Amino acid sequence: MKKSPFIMGLLLLMFSISSFAIDQQKIASANVAPPVIEGKSWLLIDNDSGAVLSAGAPDMQIEPASLTKLMAAYIVFRELAEGRQNLDDMVFVSEKAWRMEGSRMFIKVNSSVKLEDLVKGMIIQSGNDATVALAEHVAGTEESFVGLMNKVAAELGMKQTHYVNSSGMPDEGHLTSATDLAILTRALINQFPQYYKYYSIKDFTWNKIKQGNRNILLYRDPSVDGVKTGHTESAGYCLIGSANRDGMRLIAIVTGTDSKMARADMVQNLLNYGFRNYITREVYPAGKLIQNVDVYKASSNTVAVESPERISLTVPRRGDAQLTQTVTVPDYIVAPVERGQVLGNIEFSVQGSSLGKYPLTAVAEIPEGGIIDQLIGTVMLWIADF
């Protein structure tokens, strides 16, 4: 006997629930060895598909150093996008912000600085003073801002991350992982493209002091437009690099190297490996209608299912990369149906290997029908389960 529509729907709903993971898509092997990376951990992903192209200890907890400022920037960008802050807002510089050690923007105590200038100081100059000033402006205190950072990290599914400060200064328990950094970087790029542009700026002058962006790849590779460097004695030299070539964006993360040049070379090698051996294809745009599902006990006999999000797949450039797809939906479902309800999935494969399953959802709400519809539906169910 077939499973009831309720049980089928419940199973499909449970299957479809997932966090904002970066390894949601499996990939077929490119049959080319990835570059050797000498660091504590590393990760190479495709931004659109989330496919992991190369990895080494990606879930190991490491000190993020100034890569911490990615989360600070993410929160500031969200504040801007949601209208709680404005780029022209004037931000007061406290003594705590002014006294910050390490890399600095050199803002003056008790002065007021335009929020956009502080964003540039935080991103381009990696200013600890600018970061704390922004944190205090957004949340009142740096401590409150750090609480917000941890809350957002949990929302994004960053399972190995715990923040203790906003700037990345060494502190016990201040930890993240390459996987979590990839989740955060991907969210920042995709959700706030209007502000991601700051990561490609090569230098910024404040208080008559010109400082260059520490990301060497910005000067070396025109396809690279970010993202962030980090360094402390205990964390080593770290770098997140992102590049866009012919519409394909990759994100490479290397942590714990022994020099500025080493981190740049290794990220460059990862990016080159990914672009030369893989290609990402958009299979379906968001809202693509896939097929219809019968609906019983409703005035409408069917409901269409769609891919609610854009589906992009990463496959090897060489060899047989022909995609096949399998649609799995129930033979019928009983009204009512909610718009956006998960009704099935679509699975893609290449070279006999699954590239992952993606949910299919109802495009419309289908309410319960009248008495006649209910009677007809009952008969149809009896026949279907006979």
Query: Does the 41-280 domain belong in CATH 3.30.56.10?
Result: no
Query: Could you tell me the fold of the domain covering 5-22+285-384?
Result: Peptidoglycan synthesis regulatory factor (PBP3), Domain 2 (2.60.410)
Q: What pLDDT score does 261 carry?
A: 98
User: Are 279 and 285 in contact, with CB atoms under 8 Å apart?
Assistant: no
Q: Is 166 a catalytic residue?
A: no
User: Are 22 and 50 in contact, with CB atoms under 8 Å apart?
Assistant: yes
The span from the CA of 213 to the CA of 28, in Å, is 36
Q: What pLDDT score does 14 carry?
A: 33
**For residue 18, how far is the Cα from the chain centroid?**
13
Q: What pLDDT score does 9 carry?
A: 36
Alpha helices in the chain (DSSP H): 5-16, 69-81, 95-98, 115-123, 128-139, 142-156, 178-191, 193-196, 217-220, 260-277, 371-384
Query: Do you find a cis peptide bond into 293, omega within 30 degrees of 0?
Result: no
Strand pairing partners for 216?
Answer: none
Residue with tokens 């699975």: 347
Question: Residue 226 is inside which H or E element, if any?
Answer: strand 224-232
CA distances from 65 to 103, 170, 332 (A): 11, 7, 53
Q: Is 66 a catalytic residue?
A: yes
Question: Residue 355 is inside which H or E element, if any?
Answer: strand 353-362
Tokens, residue 114 = 């335009």
The span from the CA of 293 to the CA of 330, in Å, is 7
Q: Which of 54, 126, 307, 312 is catalytic?
A: 126
Domain boundaries, the chain: 5-22+285-384, 41-280
| Half-sphere exposure (Cβ direction) of 103: Cα atoms closer than 13 Å | 24
Q: What pLDDT score does 1 carry?
A: 32
Q: What pLDDT score does 142 carry?
A: 98
Query: Do you find a cis peptide bond into 227, omega within 30 degrees of 0?
Result: yes
CA distances from 364 to 7, 262, 358, 367 (A): 21, 53, 19, 10
183: helix, strand or coil = helix
Q: Is 349 a catalytic residue?
A: no
Q: What is the 3-state secondary structure (H, E, C) of 234-288?
A: CCEEEEEEEEEECCEEEEEEEEEECCHHHHHHHHHHHHHHHHHHEEEEEEECCCE
Q: How many helices (H) and strands (E) does the chain have?
A: 11, 17
pLDDT (tens, 9 = 90+) of the chain, 386 residues, equals 333 433 333 333 333 333 355 655 677 777 789 999 999 999 999 999 999 999 999 999 999 999 999 999 999 999 999 999 999 999 999 999 999 999 999 999 999 999 999 999 999 999 999 999 999 999 999 999 999 999 999 999 999 999 999 999 999 999 999 999 999 999 999 999 999 999 999 999 999 999 999 999 999 999 999 999 999 999 999 999 999 999 999 999 999 999 999 999 999 999 999 999 999 989 999 999 999 999 999 888 999 999 999 999 999 988 766 789 999 999 999 999 999 999 999 999 887 788 889 999 999 999 988 888 777 878 777 777 76
The span from the CA of 203 to the CA of 349, in Å, is 45
Q: Which of 41, 54, 66, 242 is catalytic?
A: 66
The span from the CA of 266 to the CA of 239, in Å, is 9
Going by DSSP bridges, is the β-strand pair 224-232/209-212 parallel, antiparallel, or unpaired?
Answer: unpaired
Length of the chain counted residue by residue: 386
Q: Which of 41, 54, 69, 103 is catalytic?
A: 69
pTM over 0.85: yes
